[in-house]
Amino acid sequence: MSSAVVLVTGGARRIGRAIALDLAAAGWSVAFSYRHSALEAQETLMELRRNKVQAEALHADLSDEVSCRALVPEVVKRFGRIDAVVNNASAFEYDNAETCGLASMEHHWKANTAPAIVLAQELYQHVKASGRTGCVVNLLDQKLWNPNPDYFSYTLSKAALEAATKMLSIAMAPQLRVSGVAPGLTLLSGAMSEQEFEEGRQLNPLDRSSPPQDIASAVRFLLTSPATTGSTILVDGGQHLSREERDVMFMAHEMASS
């Protein structure tokens, strides 16, 4: 895969960084986008280049359509081609069914759903014009298979992205494969403590979380599996099998406090 080029959105830190580094180690040339994480972006860029592959960090506001659509042409300008997009960048802000409003729903849509569709469109046009094929992998969430009403707007946006994954896989075949990876409890977020993270992990059937490297491995599998499209791999320690009335963050907090 030494000549293949991938764009990872939100690749400066956390899960996106793990995906970018994993693909670079496998020989991919890597472009990644960032918005606010300039320092982390430079650190990740240096780490990527230690793998002796071409790597570029691209600043972009994915919620702005012009900025988002410019990413694929910019990757082509710098690398000469693009073969895949991993839609990892995401907003994750709390609301529920009683408190959500249009502003929150629009914010999550413009961060989590619309950019992934726009980038799939741009990649499709590029590979079609080049006479090649490509692949999109969308980062989803196990919550879609184990729903609860917390993070209402976020969950709606990911549900829409899961539907878009299936529809795009039909509409853009055979030039483009579109698949998903759905993580579970992966990294500390928000006000979650280390103890609460451990309590949450123990709720899973496999008694483990879904480390970033596991997610990166699943992404790489989908990128390199030419017969796979329109499906989602759940990488969550079995979390989707555990019925949860609240988000795991709140359940773990209650357990740690008891």
Q: Is the pLDDT of residue 69 over 90?
A: yes
Question: Rounded to whole angstroms, how far apart are CA atoms 55 and 17?
Answer: 12
Q: Under CATH, what is the fold of the domain 5-188+209-241?
A: Rossmann fold (3.40.50)
Residue 1 is predicted with a pLDDT of: 43
Residue 198 is predicted with a pLDDT of: 80
pLDDT tens sequence across 132-145: 999 999 999 999 99
pLDDT tens sequence across 155-213: 999 999 999 999 999 999 999 999 999 999 877 666 677 887 687 777 888 888 889 99
Using DSSP's 3-state secondary structure scheme, residue 192 falls into coil
Q: Residues with Cβ < 8 Å from 8, sequence gap 6 or more?
A: 16, 19, 20, 23, 30, 31, 32, 33, 85, 86, 88
